[in-house]
Structure 1
């Protein structure tokens, strides 16, 4: 994974650059932008493919995990900010690394919005969930993340960070002139939604962590997936 750190940083830079450009130009072609960002998320995967032959079962595994994360939003559609997507992305990255986590998070956002509706928020959700997986993969071997309380705290923190990233998109879209008072209002209004996301991450991680980690690690070790 160390060899893929630079490609991941490049992909992250492309994400940020595309988001900034889109916001500056007020571009409404957000579906096209989402596809461009998806290509950026695939960059580390393409480089892995160049380095060694990527087995079809590895691609299938990534697709299945991204699909599970995407579909998991649907049963909780009536509960704002309560969704197991972040937990699934975190656990996938915990086992398979930052590369897989980044890709699964970005793809899950794009695919799930085929049901919930595409919009200018889609690229930002792709970025936010991609970052959830990226950071979980980078920190997975730390003593903090190797403990159950540390994993839960990580999920709790990202419940707020996810909302704060999405607030940036909301602020950019407001017609009012920028002010720190407006920032305070937007972030204050999102607090309870962010708290719901944070608490739901803790709940879903508590429920899924043990079983999911064992199953995914068994697949990784037995079949040598995403080494």
Structure 2
């Protein structure tokens, strides 16, 4: 599942928002957002933070596009389960609560998010977690595109955080990849890859990249909304 992204006057790619509506509004003001700009969310608009519903509503209102994050995927999955009458688990109710509260238009928009976006005019790709180098885009694994963080020396692709083995170090282009998902590493800057998950929901920052000039803009989180559980290998 892929969609082509047409170039507008500016493209504003935004890292993981996780329901942090106040910070999202601040960031758009800091970016001097104006009608005609194309906002691209890099996945995980929802869950963990204070107001996922407002984030999705705002994304729709400004005509934003985005890619599907692992938490967005879980919310869509739970909405489908609700439609089938499945009882939610008692241990992790947050995705269920969001899924059961979204309007039909919100659900339709969230469900329309593709695994990745392409922009030929910007020579750029947008994805939540990453790509495996050497594999054609159409052959990439959706699960990995939403969850991968590291590629080990033996070629193993994993969602786990291994400090010395970020997947993006292997990406040779020619397209610039903009991605999120990896708050542990924070801002990642490579010649051909740019990681924009700077941990807003964990009390750090929300970050955007304005294209084509590749200008970085960020705002601080108002507070820590969710405790970060670091797992290092």
When normalised by structure 1's length, the TM-score is: 0.29
Structure having the higher helix fraction is 1
Structure having the higher strand fraction is 2
